[in-house]
Amino acid sequence: DTGVSQDPRHKITKRGQNVTFRCDPISEHNRLYWYRQTLGQGPEFLTYFQNEAQLEKSRLLSDRFSAERPKGSFSTLEIQRTEQGDSAMYLCASSLDGQGNEAFFGQGTRLTVV
């Protein structure tokens, strides 16, 4: 297993278009998190899954954002009707349940909305 992978690494889209990002966590990890990181800021929590259940989505930035993890394996994050303010790095992380378990991060998807 090579760690958490995210696809694509970079995405340039026109304002108003929809985009979808994919995250493949470490295979045995049951928890999966999405974060957004803007320039000069630390990552900001968006949502998380335990297996296929999305247990927290109130932090998603607007109703244009949605995430799925249909079979408890990979996850997708979709942004509809993109805006320039959506330009950011979108990070995925996964971990096991348990005290102090490390969250492993992917390299992120950098979104640029033009």
Partner 1 sequence: AQTVTQSQPEMSVQEAETVTLSCTYDTSESDYYLFWYKQPPSRQMILVIRQEAYKQQNATENRFSVNFQKAAKSFSLKISDSQLGDAAMYFCAYRSSAFFYGGSQGNLIFGKGTKLSVKP
Q: Answer whether 34's CB lies under 8 Å from 21's CB.
A: no
28 binds partner 1 (CB under 8 A): no
105 binds partner 1 (CB under 8 A): yes
21 binds partner 1 (CB under 8 A): no
Neighbours of 22 (CB within 10 A): 15
DSSP annotation of 86 reads G
Q: Is 14 or 42 the residue whose CB approaches partner 1 more closely?
A: 42
How far apart are the C-alpha atoms of 47 and 68, rounded to whole Å? Answer: 10
* Contact flags string 56-85 toward partner 1, x per CB under 8 A: x-----------------------------
Q: Answer whether 13's CB lies under 8 Å from 111's CB.
A: yes
Q: How far apart are the first and last CA of the chain?
A: 35
43 binds partner 1 (CB under 8 A): yes
Residues that bind partner 1 (CB under 8 A): 3-4, 31, 33, 35, 40-45, 48, 55-56, 91, 93, 95, 98-100, 102-103, 105-108
